[in-house]
Structure formats: C-alpha cells, structure tokens
Structure 1
C-alpha cells in the first residue's frame, strides 16, 4: 500500500512542477508587458529585451507553453489511472485495531469537564434554545467529551430523542435538518411528524426550518454537531436560525476549534477545553505503548516514555498516536518519538494523518487563498514571533491574493485572513511587550500554534526547504522544486545546493556572514518574488542583484551598507523595500523609478541626511517610515506628490523643523510626528488631510500652537498631544469623531 501511495505522489509532484513552470512563464509575460508600458523608464538592457520581445515570444515562450500543455496532459492521464486503481483498496481492519483508531478506548481524565458541560447545558430549563460550543485546539478530545455527555442517561439528562451529527467539509443545512427529522421519526416522539422524504433541496429553505422547529417545539432533544469548522458566518447564522428560538427543551452541543463558530453559535457562554494532565496523558500513552497493564516493562522504556508524554503538552490524541507508534517497536523508534520533529514522525505512523486528522479537516474547509496564506507560515522557524503587518506584506508580495485582486485591498484581505487563522487556533497572539522590538514594527505579534506548526511542516515537506548549513547541512531536503526556502548559515560550501532554490518564489537567508556565495546564487533566483537578507550583516549589496527582475519584496535591514548599488535600479517590480537600520547616507535618485513601490522603510537610518527630489515620483507609495532618522532636516518639495500615501511615520526625527507647504497628502490616514523636537508648527493646509484618522504630536515641545484648520479634520479619531505645554485651540470641540485624546503632561 505504501508503494501505491508513493506511486500516486509521483504524478502529483510532476503536476506541481508543471504548474510552477507555468506560473513562472506568466510572470515573465507580465514583466514583459510592464517593460513595454514604460519606455521612458527602461534601461538599455530592458530596451534590447523590449525590442526583441515579439521574436522571443514566438521562438521561446510559445514553444514552452506548448511543452507545458503536453506535460500536464501526460501526468494528468497517469494520475487518473492510479486513482482508478486505488479505489478498490481499503485499510485492513487489523491495522485499525493495532493502532487504536476504532473508537473503543475508554475516555480518560474528562469526568470533571463532563460535569461542567452538563451544568452549563442544563442551566437554562426554560423554553428558549440552548447552544453550548465546546471549543479547543485540535486533538484535545472535544468529540470524546461530547460523547460522554451524549451517552449520559442520568436523571437530569432525559430527552425524548438524541441526534449525533458528524460534520465534514460538505456542510449542508438540508443534511442537518433532515437528519434531525429522521431521528425524531425513528423514536416516534410525536404522532404526526414531518416526513423526511420531502425534497427540501428543491423547495424553499423555510419549509425545512418549519419542520425542524415543529419537532423541537413539541419534544425534548439533545443534538450534537460534531466538528463544525465552517468559516462562513452567513452559513453559521442560518444554521442557528434553523433551530428557531422557542422549543420545549432543545439542547445543542457544538464541538469546534474555531472561535468564530463558537461566537456566532452560542446562546450564552462557551466551554473552553484545556489539555489533560501529564498523569492522564501517561495513562493513555502507556495503554497504547505497553498494552496489557500487567506487562513487565523495562524501566529504560518507561523513562523515555515519560519524556515522550511531556512533549504531548496535554494533547490526548497525540499521546494515543505516539503510544501506538512505539508499540512493539525497538529502541530506535522510541528515541525517534522522543527526539524527532512530529511532522517527521508522521511518516512512521500508520494509517497516515492520524495525528493531524483534525487539522486536515480544518485545512480542507479553507478556501484556496486562505490555504495559500496558511501554508506560507511554514517558512518561519518553530516558535518565531511574526509581525502581523510584515506577514501581510509578504503574502501580498507573493501574490497570494491574486484570485481576489481588485475586490479588496491587500491590507484588508490580510487582516481578514489573519483573523481567520486566529479563529481556527492556527495563529495565536503574543504579548508584544515581551518581544524584542528590533524586528517588530506593528503592535500585533503572532506565533504559529505548536501542533499546527508540525502539521504545516508535514503538509509542506515537499514545497518548503529548510537548510541549516551551520549544523552540518541539517534540515529538510525533499525533492525539488521547492517554492519557499529558508537557508541558514549559507556559505561557500553550500554552493552545490543552488539548484534546490531555482524555482523558489521566496528565499530567506539567516545568519549568513559571507557575501560572495549569496551573490553567486542571485542569477539562479530569476523567478523569486521575495528576498529577505535581514539576518546577514553585509557591508554592500552584490551587483548581481540586477538578476532578480521579478523581485517584489526586498529586506536588507540591519546591513552596514552605506549606499545602494546602481544595478538595483533594474528592480522595477519592487513593491516592498526595507532599508531600516542600515548605514545608508542618501537615497539614490533611481528610487523614483520604482513606480510599483507601496512600502518604503528607512527607520533607524541615523546617517541618512538627504531625501531625493525623485521621492515624489513614487505615486503608488502607501506606507513610508522615516522614523528615528535624526539627520533629516527637511522633506523634499516633491513630497506632496505622494498622492496615495496612507501611513507616514516621522517620529523621533529630532532635527525636522518644518513640513512642506502646502501639505496636501489627500489619502493620508495615519501621521506620527512624536518626538519631532524642533517642529514649531503645522502648515495651515493641514486641514486638507480629509482622511486623517490618527495624529500623534506627543513630545513636539517646540510647537507653539496648533492651526485652526485642525478643526477641518472631520475623520480624526485619535489625537495625542501629550508633553506639549501649549494652549489648545477651542476648535478641537468641532471634531465630532474624535473619541481618544492623550493629554498626558499637557498644560491644556
């Protein structure tokens, strides 16, 4: 069976390779079109390429497209044959029994939780609907706990009928409603019941709700909706409305890993399920690992087993799976279960995807774009703190929002998807005050849940490359092409690995001291969209950077670089550029040719003195961070040409003494001038910032007064004028939307 599984994976990998090549070809065509549309901005190399483009299209791109089509047809045909062959294969029953996945095991350590759930469920004895979500991370035993409650037939748990509905990704109100009607009919709870034979899918949905509610009004019931993972709020609202609001005694338990599901479905409070004690996890593990409780166990295995249980962190499914894996196995397997990454151990477990089955259900319930955003998280090392704003920029640079392009802005889509991943218990918040702030630019810091990270590494083992050359080339090396790569301590000895990243869309270098091997790898990264060199303190950027024509995101923060090389002017697709905390002394004029640039960060460049006049040519710039640049005295006259600028951070520019006049940034929403000690006044044109919502003037100690035009900022919501010892204008009272004002240490 494993051979057949391997055989099935071969054509899938081939399909993936063909699709990667096709995607790269489309990127080339898009780049070609962008060159043709900007003749005045072309370099001489681009001009030659543009003049020869019809010939290239005919002699190169068209045959490549034909070759891709033929390859895709061939591997698709092979996939169909293998799938047809495998349809008759079933998992032998003895394997299910061997690994303990038959559902017959006793439920351990949840007696107290069972009592709590029943008390919450029975609190409301009136005629209103009671829906209690049991919420927790995958594998904690939500289904097992619900089963304990469902099977309790004690005095307080008497119902006319009970319905257990196991849900999957093919959610349907019709299936749920007809199942309730069918079960009520089977129990004969009422003389005249709606008949399940009705074709509700063809009729009005109101008829289904009417029939379900008729049953619930006249009979008491306990309904369990197990593993509800939908992220569609409208579906959840309709599902809740299916039950109505007035019943004889209807109790509904919903098991879910989604906080969104719990929030929408609950009628009072939710029950948050925590992990098991280590003692209970040991009981579960040892039952699977040693079998008969009277068996004589080698103390050495017991000691290793205790450490295996410790890594389960209270997750009973993980304890059961690891116990099953080491059952009747030798010392090597036990040591692997103790030391190896969980995503690597998954390959040893049979049947596959047992540990990650709950996460797999969540993953397949996601729509395609959210799946792509989720998979990218595996690029970050385990336990990494992730700057939320930075994550959204990286998603955008990789064009993961392509299918929804034009519907909403990338930043808004990113907010939606991070919220979805938080609600699904994939991401979790980190206290920003506990994080070293040198790499964090936003106030929201995230981290991937530990078990979710293991699932991610399992899911992306053939798509994401992790290599640590400092640990003797330690890391994951599957079969290329890899789409994302993290290379640690890359050096001269690593050059043989260049081919591994030839198809990579994102490459992240960490702790790399040597410049030359990275310069040598640039020509291979012709299709790379994202390049992060922030962990490499170089003194210069290699001239070979001009090979990365598709580059959209470049992070060279922390470099000891003093100037940007002229060759960098070829990066005409750049959208996100991070130069923060470098030793750069001036921004070159060619930066004005980056017409697609949306984000520019020069925070902490304490040697930066001059901003070029060409800065105003960045018509697409939305976010500019010039904070902590003490040598900047003034902004160029062209600055007000940044018509799409939404966020401007000039905080702690201690020598900035004035803003350009007129200061007309018509799209500006957030302006931070905190700590601009020499700034004496705001221009009268300040009132023209009609979309400004957040203004921070804290510590602008030289500011003599605020202009009367500040009253024209009709959208202003937050204003900080702390540590300003000046009288405030009466016109502030006209700001109707202003609801947060910081006057700390202010004489106003």
Structure 2
C-alpha cells in the first residue's frame, strides 16, 4: 500500500510544480525549494519500495520505517489537497463575483485571476505544514540508508514462500469433496468429438479452499488410472517458466531429469513420449494471465490422442480463460458438517472420548467461524490440538481470527500470495473493505464511490474513475476476494433494477479477517453501548479508517477525537439525540475525512460546521427520514464527488448553492421526490448520477426538464416524475435524452388530472423523451396516450420492460421483435381486448401469408399479465381455414415464468398451444388437439372449484401456469 500512497503524492507534487511553471505564480509563498526537494526524495524512496515491502515481512525495523513513510505520505496528501482546495475555492468564488458583474471585460477577468492567486499565496499555514513535512521526510530519508535497500526499476512481487505440491494424498484426511470429485472425473471421462484435444478443465477458487486437494483426489481416482495411459502432475506456481514446466513434464514421462536447455528440444521429446497416447496432465497453481506464454506448450500437447485432458487449478478466472479452458469448475466451501468432521479429526486427535465431549459444543462454534474454508479449519484445529482447557478454547472462540499468531503463520501467507499478485491500487481497494462488518452486503456502486473518494482510482483521458472501478471490482471478484455476487442478470428482481440497485456482494469471513490483518494498524471498529463505556482496545492515533456502532444511550468517547487523521468513517446509530450531540465535534475535529457514512442514523439536522470537512469526497446521508433541510455550508465542500440523500423522504430542498460543487459526480436522491432540486444543478458538468427528477415542479427556482440538456454524462438510473404542472413538450425536446448514452435505466411516471386533454399531451411528451438505444430497463407508469411511440422498437438493447396503468391503449407495439428483452410486465389496462401475432412481432402481409423473423421474443424468460380488465383472448395465429399461420415461427423459446393475475374476461381456452405445451405437468399427447383438450379440462375443473373467475389466474399461477426450470 505504501507504493500506491507514495505514487499518489508524487503525482500531486509534480502536478503542482507544473501548474506553478505554467501560471508563473507562486501559489504558496516560500515553499518552492521544499516542494522540489520533497519530489526528489519521494522519487528516490519509491524506487526502493519493492525491496522494503519484501524485507518488512521479516524485519520489524523495516516495518516501522514503512509505517513512518505511510504516515508522512498520508499527511503530505492532506496538505497538498488543502492547497489545491484553496486554489479551487478561490476560483469558484471569483467566478461567482464575475457572474454577478457581467459587465466586466476580459481585461478585468485577467486582473481578478491574478488577485485570486495572490489570495492563495498568503496561505501561511500551508507553507508551515509543507516545511514541517520536509523536515520529517529528511529524517526518514536518512534512516533508509541503514537498511541498504536495493532499487528496482520495475515492480516485483513480494517474496512469500510458495508451497510446492505433489500428487500424493491421504484420502482419510479429506472431508466433503466426493460430489465435486465425481463431477470432475465425469468431465474427464466424457468423450466428445465437439471439443478440441486436449480438452482443458479448470478448478477455480480462493486460496485455501482446497483446489489442490480436489485435484489430488481426481488424479488418484482408480477410474482415471485405467482410462489414461499416462498421468502427469506439475506444480506450476509463479512465475510461469515455460522451460521449467516443459522439463517437469518430460521428467515425469522419463522418470529422470533431462539435461536439456532449449525449449524446442524439450518439446520435441515430449511429443515423442506423448504422441498418440491418451494422457491426463495436472497443472497445479497456475497464475500466468498471458495466453501467449502458454501457447507453445499447448500446441505441443495437442499431439496426444483424442480424449486427452488437462486439469488446471488456479485462483483467477482470467487464467482459466487465457488457457482456453472449456469447463470452469468453481469449487465450493465445505458444508457445516464436513467442516466439523475435518476440524474434530485434527483438533481431537489422540484425545479420549471424555476430553472430546467436554469441548465439542464450543468446538462446533469455532469450526463454523471458518465458513467452510478447509485451510482455516485445519489451522484452528491444529492450534487447539494441544490445548485442553475450556478457557483456552473460549479464548480462541472470542478472538478475531486475524489476531491469532497461528493464522499469521499458517493461514494468511496463502492469502498473501493472492494479495501480492494485485497491483498497488488494487491492494488499496481490497484493504479498504476491512471497514465493513463481517457478512455485510456490499453495494458495488457505493464501494466504487468510496474507492474514488480515497483516491484509489486515477482517471485517464481514456477511462473515467467509475469505469476503472468496475474493472477493479471484476479483478477482485475473479480472484475470489468477493463472493455471493448478485448481478442484474440473475438474482436481482425487476423492482430493484428499476430503482438503481445493480450489484451486491459479500466477503468470505476469512478473507475479511485477512483484510483486517493487512490494515490492523490503520482500521478499527468500536461498539459503544453507553455514554460512560470505555474501549478495551488501544486505538492508534494514526488510524485512518473506522466503523463506530452507537447504541441509543451511547456516545463517542472523548479519546475518539484524538484520532484526527481518520479518512474514512462509518457511524451506525439508532438514536437521533445521540448523533445530534456528536456531529458538531465530529465535524470540527476529524477534518481529514474523505468519506463519511451517516446513513440510517435518525439525523434531524446537519450543523453548518460541516464546512470544515474540506477534504470530503463522499457523504452518505441516506435513509434519515427526519432530515428536512441541508445547510448551505454543505456547498463549501468543493471536493465532494458523491452526495447520497436517497430515502430522506421528508427532505424539503437541496441547497441553492449546489452549483458550487463542481466536482460532484453522483447525486443519489431516490425517494426524495418532494425535495426541491434547484436549477443550479445544471452547472454540474461532471454529474453522472441524478436519479429522480420531478419534471413537473412548478416552483420557479426548481430544476426543470430542459435543465437536463447540459448533463450529458448522466448514467445508470434516471427517473422522471411528472407531478404537478403540465410538462412542456418543448422542454422535453431540449432535454436531449437520446444523447445521454450512459443512461441504462429509465423510469417515466405520468401523473395529473384525468381528462381527454391528457391523451394528446402524454403522447406528444413521451414521443420527445426518446432515450439512447443503449437503454436496458424501461418503466412507464400512468401513461394516458392511446399509442406508444415508435422509438420503443429502436431500443435494441432493452432487457426489462414494465408498462403499468396504460389505460387507453387498445393494442401494443410488436414487442416480440426486441432481440434481448428478458422480462415483460403488462399491468393495468382497460381497453386492450386481444393479444396476438402483432404483439409477437409477426406481420400478416395478406390473409394467408406471414412475414416475420424466425423467433418471437427470442430472450424472454418472464412474462407477467395483470389487471388487463378487458382482455378476452390471445390470438393463436390460426387463419380462416383453421390452419396455423405461424407453424414455422419459434415463439418464446426461453420462457420460464408466465403469470396471469386479475384478468376476469380472459377465455382460458384461447391461450395458444405454444404456451400450453410449456406448462409443467402437461406432456404432449399423441396429437395437439388431445393435449389442448386435457389442458382446458383441467382449467375448467379449477374454475368450477373456485367459483371466482376473476381470480382464477392467480390460482393457476401457483398451480401450473407458473413455469420453473
């Protein structure tokens, strides 16, 4: 982490020097020499950081030196940020004055610009801090000479001892892998002419999950010993050395160490031994992501006979993909019982039944702490093997795993390999996650915004911070640092998608313990249950991140405010009076904060002292339902990137001066529809997120539809509510929604007095609100028009569509043509009488001919039809001669869920055969007619038994119309 910190400070120093030269102005008086010297010293220390990182693992003096360097880097970052903030504040205030005096000429602007820099130049306090830091850095720079660090031009990974694996295993010591072993053995034995030879299969999972153990079980399976003529085991590890790996393969084939040095010669010998043979090659612990390094060896191994297999174990999905794996098998955690069996096997080895029985209950709890990670189970089991008192076992139970010396020696080095494989910024991103409690559901977007706030994501002309954050998240997830990832495309319901919830994840408890171990000097958690409670832990004054849990009677102890260097703070509190008393001191004392989470704290008021948090980038005030006003002082936080006021449903307005927050990128305001959004928001050219807009707010100072024109960087969710005044169609045109290609979710809520005038108005307004074709989710509510605009069919990337209370529409667009539509909800219509081939996107050119695409609704998996009160039939596509016009068209091939609710006039017998044949429990009879007759008979039986025709479909949904695969 020190490398990333030093690199960041260096960039800031170099940027300031460049700015000073460009502007020919001394931004802070008298520190030019110090800034240049600091830059040189940081550059020299950066060059030796790789060696220092390696040596600190075994040398406490080096570790202490590294901690000093990190502390001064943090302090330098704070001072430089204060410097650039002062410049920015001066510019913003100057711009305001210029705007107020619009008669000024260009000459006046230049003079005023000089005035601004003179104003910054007198910042004596910044100059004093820089000179002090320069003196501190001199001392650290002198100290490094004692350690004789070696300078590296390129980054090298830290030296952590890597275990070397062999194929031998004691089967009796393995628990709970039989099912996974059998599944992989089946894949290895299955012959297929469709896959290339050799077929490559990978086992992927986090460090310590048991990949190598599973590979050993597979390698020693009797079926494979007879099936393959040759079996080879090679531990690859890192770095990936083609010659070394090829030699290992050849040595296994010849039972000798070949005295060969050229790759070409070695590969030729391998081909001689493997040519025409069916072989199994295990490549254990592969790290190399570059497919080019693997290509020559892979080509050589293609000499084997059909049925040859390669089994790879790796921690990274990207490695499996680079190697051309056909099947990727993600290994799971041990079950609770298997964990207990493995734990008791080790912990109670050699114990008597009486000794074991006394500690079995607490032993089960300790085993469960490992959350199915075999390495952790083995580590804790071996730790307790020699401890036979309940007090000793209880101590292990009550302690955090990351605090145990045994974990540091036997468990964490395995995870350290994965950690060291990350780039320095990725290490920072992972380490930050120690601030969350265990088993916490992490919102991906909020996590990325936190990474942004702490400077872990560097924007480039090619990639913005949010996109880079997405890439970092994928990297960490592919290495199993995150798990239980819920994505839009599988587990998130449509309602959640509509309101911007895109992706969540968790961390395995042991991975979280490792994150706490990595940040043990910088991150701490505290739970305060009463106002007089004292913490039993020593809190380092140099700590940078903290999570505080305040009970209703709890209050932050005085010594907490001594931790003045905090950069990230999460407070959980359920007492409004408690937090009200805390906030003024918190804002005054913890002025280095970059991110502050005060969500769900029952906050009623934000004190104006918040202006002192000049470094703040992320402020989460969400779900404070008693919060009514935000102070104008909040608009002095010029570095603010993210402001979350979502679910503050009593908030009356957003501060008028929000236009000053020139760095604001994300304004989360879901469920704050009554809060006045000022027109100043249109000045926020960096804004990416503005979730809910009341485009019908009739207050003069309110943000209006045409104010969206300048916000072309908007992305994610945009919900437009037309509540209040009649929205101007011309304003809608000026919004230019079609230019906003980053918006992937749009919610349009029409509302107003009923009347015929609304029909034309809604149609005209909806027509001009055409979004970019990138849109993936569309929700239209209370639309009074009679037809939908043609642009709906241009949404070729649309995946989720929900039309609610579209009361006047008698027919629907040909939605079956949308190529990627996965979910369709049609709810609330009083005029729609028939669905048919037009709805499917099948066009009839004359009475007997059909022109259509080959597939209708090719990707649709879920269809909901509800409260279609006049709907009578679903046209089954039969022509006047009783022949099926659409016999050659594939319809709804992916449908898994089909639900009908509250459609009282629907004639169930009109449901077409292509739907009926998908229903569970209805196998095709000898003819289509017999199948339909059986289905209709069953429906009539259900109707008769219920005597509630209007709700029959609700019953059918759970009985047989609800499809599941």
TM-score using structure 2 length: 0.65
Instruction: From the superposition, tell whether residues 458 and 337 of structure 1 become closer, same or farther in structure 2 (CA, over 3 Å).
Output: same
Q: Superposition pairs for residues 135-146 of structure 1, below 5 Å?
A: 135-146=204-215
- Give the match's secondary structure for 1:461: coil
How far apart are 1:546 and its partner, in Å? 0.6
Q: Which protein has greater RCO, CA pairs closer than 8 Å, 6+ apart?
A: 1
Q: Superposition pairs for residues 130-279 of structure 1, below 5 Å?
A: 130-151=199-220, 155-156=225-226, 159-160=229-230, 162-168=232-238, 170-184=239-253, 186-187=255-256, 196-198=260-262, 216-217=274-275, 221-230=279-288, 232=289, 234=291, 238=295, 241=298, 244-248=301-305, 250-262=308-320, 265=323, 267-276=325-334
Q: Does 1:418 align with 2:470?
A: no
Q: Superposition pairs for residues 337-376 of structure 1, below 5 Å?
A: 337-345=396-404, 347=405, 349=406, 352-376=408-432
How far apart are 1:555 and its partner, in Å? 1.3
Which structure 2 segments of 5+ residues have no match? 1-54, 99-112, 152-158, 753-760, 833-838, 840-965
8 Å contact from structure 1 (residues 607, 629) kept in 2:
no
CA distance in 2, matches of 1:737, 1:650: 24
Q: Does 1:580 align with 2:642?
A: no
The CA deviation string for residues 573-608 of structure 1, in whole angstroms up to 9 with x for no partner, is 111111223222122320112111111122222542
Q: Does 1:488 align with 2:549?
A: yes
How far apart are 1:732 and its partner, in Å? 7.9
Q: For the pair shown, which has the larger CA radius of gyration, 1 or 2?
A: 2
CA distance in 2, matches of 1:656, 1:317: 64
Q: Does 1:599 align with 2:669?
A: no
- Give the match's secondary structure for 1:354: helix
CA distance in 2, matches of 1:395, 1:259: 23
CA distance in 1, matches of 2:763, 2:265: 67
2:503 to 429, 432, 444: 444
Q: Superposition pairs for residues 59-78 of structure 1, below 5 Å?
A: 59-60=127-128, 62-78=130-146
Instruction: From the superposition, tell whether residues 242 and 571 of structure 1 become closer, same or farther in structure 2 (CA, over 3 Å).
Output: farther
CA distance in 2, matches of 1:635, 1:438: 25
CA distance in 1, matches of 2:94, 2:796: 40
Give the match for residue 556 of structure 1. Answer: 621
- Give the match's secondary structure for 1:515: helix
Give the match for residue 332 of structure 1. Answer: 391
How far apart are 1:541 and its partner, in Å? 0.5
Q: Superposition pairs for residues 259-658 of structure 1, below 5 Å?
A: 259-262=317-320, 265=323, 267-276=325-334, 281-292=339-350, 297=355, 299-329=357-387, 330-345=389-404, 347=405, 349=406, 352-402=408-458, 405-429=460-484, 441-470=500-529, 472-473=533-534, 477-489=538-550, 492-500=555-563, 502-511=564-573, 513-559=578-624, 560-582=626-648, 583-608=650-675, 610-626=676-692, 635-636=703-704, 637-647=706-716, 649-650=718-719, 654-655=723-724, 657-658=726-727
CA distance in 2, matches of 1:220, 1:391: 48
How far apart are 1:104 and its partner, in Å? 8.2
8 Å contact from structure 1 (residues 715, 737) kept in 2:
yes
Give the match for residue 686 of structure 1. Answer: 768
CA distance in 1, matches of 2:720, 2:416: 45
How far apart are 1:47 and its partner, in Å? 11
Between 151-160 and 730-739, the greater mean CA deviation after superposition: 730-739
The CA deviation string for residues 343-362 of structure 1, in whole angstroms up to 9 with x for no partner, is 223x3x17x34123332222
Between 516-525 and 276-285, the greater mean CA deviation after superposition: 276-285
8 Å contact from structure 2 (residues 92, 660) kept in 1:
no
8 Å contact from structure 1 (residues 675, 698) kept in 2:
yes
Instruction: From the superposition, tell whether residues 331 and 700 of structure 1 become closer, same or farther in structure 2 (CA, over 3 Å).
Output: same
The CA deviation string for residues 463-515 of structure 1, in whole angstroms up to 9 with x for no partner, is 21211122745586553422221122186552221122x22222111116332
CA distance in 2, matches of 1:603, 1:441: 9
Aligned residues: 713
CA distance in 1, matches of 2:299, 2:536: 51
- Give the match's secondary structure for 2:616: coil
- Give the match's secondary structure for 1:509: strand
8 Å contact from structure 1 (residues 708, 729) kept in 2:
no
The CA deviation string for residues 135-184 of structure 1, in whole angstroms up to 9 with x for no partner, is 3443232212323444567751654462321413x334444334334544
How far apart are 1:547 and its partner, in Å? 0.5
CA distance in 1, matches of 2:495, 2:440: 12
CA distance in 2, matches of 1:554, 1:277: 40
CA distance in 2, matches of 1:712, 1:3: 58
Instruction: From the superposition, tell whether residues 521 and 484 of structure 1 become closer, same or farther in structure 2 (CA, over 3 Å).
Output: same
CA distance in 2, matches of 1:54, 1:507: 32
8 Å contact from structure 2 (residues 376, 510) kept in 1:
no
CA distance in 1, matches of 2:340, 2:333: 13
Instruction: From the superposition, tell whether residues 744 and 714 of structure 1 become closer, same or farther in structure 2 (CA, over 3 Å).
Output: closer
How far apart are 1:664 and its partner, in Å? 2.0
Q: Does 1:16 align with 2:70?
A: yes
How far apart are 1:18 and its partner, in Å? 2.0
Between 209-218 and 483-492, the greater mean CA deviation after superposition: 209-218
Which structure 1 segments of 5+ residues have no match? 84-89, 97-101, 201-205
Instruction: From the superposition, tell whether residues 103 and 182 of structure 1 become closer, same or farther in structure 2 (CA, over 3 Å).
Output: closer
CA distance in 1, matches of 2:618, 2:494: 24
The CA deviation string for residues 305-353 of structure 1, in whole angstroms up to 9 with x for no partner, is 33323433443322221122123234332112223222223x3x17x34
8 Å contact from structure 2 (residues 651, 674) kept in 1:
yes
CA distance in 2, matches of 1:354, 1:33: 51
1:664 to 730, 736, 739: 736
How far apart are 1:548 and its partner, in Å? 1.0
Give the match for residue 86 of structure 1. Answer: none
Instruction: From the superposition, tell whether residues 111 and 667 of structure 1 become closer, same or farther in structure 2 (CA, over 3 Å).
Output: closer
Q: Superposition pairs for residues 112-127 of structure 1, below 5 Å?
A: 113-124=180-191
- Give the match's secondary structure for 1:485: strand
The CA deviation string for residues 714-747 of structure 1, in whole angstroms up to 9 with x for no partner, is 8877654454244599998999877568462464
How far apart are 1:381 and its partner, in Å? 1.1
8 Å contact from structure 1 (residues 663, 683) kept in 2:
no
CA distance in 2, matches of 1:507, 1:255: 39
Instruction: From the superposition, tell whether residues 463 and 628 of structure 1 become closer, same or farther in structure 2 (CA, over 3 Å).
Output: farther
Cα RMSD (Å) of the superposition?
A: 4.4
- Give the match's secondary structure for 2:411: coil
Instruction: From the superposition, tell whether residues 323 and 435 of structure 1 become closer, same or farther in structure 2 (CA, over 3 Å).
Output: farther
